[in-house]
Amino acid sequence: EDQVTQSPEALRLQEGESSSLNCSYTVSGLRGLFWYRQDPGKGPEFLFTLYSAGEEKEKERLKATLTKKESFLHITAPKPEDSATYLCAVLENYGGATNKLIFGTGTLLAVQP
C-alpha cells in the first residue's frame, strides 16, 4: 500500500537547537515530494517541492533534501516562530495522466525560547 510516514510525531526543541524531520515514502511512481507548514487554525502553507533524489532546497532556516526513499527537513538554529506542524506530501503517478497526492500525518514542532 502506498504510504507516507512522518517522524517524529512531535518534537520539542530549544531555541537554537538544530534538528531534522523525516518523511519516508513507499510509492512506485514518484512525481514529486512536497513540504508544507501549518499553523494552528490555518491552512497549510507551501514550502518546498523536490523532484529527484539528491535535490535540495533552502528557505531561511529550513533545508529540504530528498533521497529515493525519504526526505529530510533540516531546521538550523530554530526560533519560536518556527513552531508549527510540518506536513509532507508525495505526488504519485498511477500511469498516464493520473496522479495522486498522498499526505503524511505531520510533525508537530515546538521551539521553546
Partner 1 sequence: ETGVTQTPRHLVMGMTNKKSLKCEQHLGHNAMYWYKQSAKKPLELMFVYSLEERVENNSVPSRFSPECPNSSHLFLHLHTLQPEDSALYLCASSLQRLEAEQYFGPGTRLTVT
Kindly list the residues in this chain that would bind partner 1 in the complex (CB under 8 A): 4, 32, 34, 41-46, 49, 87, 89, 91, 99-106
| Least distance between partner 1 and beta carbon 14 (Å) | 26
Q: Of 3 and 20, which CB lies nearer to partner 1 in the complex structure?
A: 3
Q: Of 57 and 76, which CB lies nearer to partner 1 in the complex structure?
A: 57
User: Long-range contacts: 99-106, Cβ < 8 Å, 24+?
Assistant: 99/31, 100/2, 102/2, 102/3, 102/4, 102/25, 102/27, 103/4, 104/4, 104/5, 104/6, 104/23, 105/6, 105/9, 106/6, 106/38
| Least distance between partner 1 and beta carbon 36 (Å) | 8
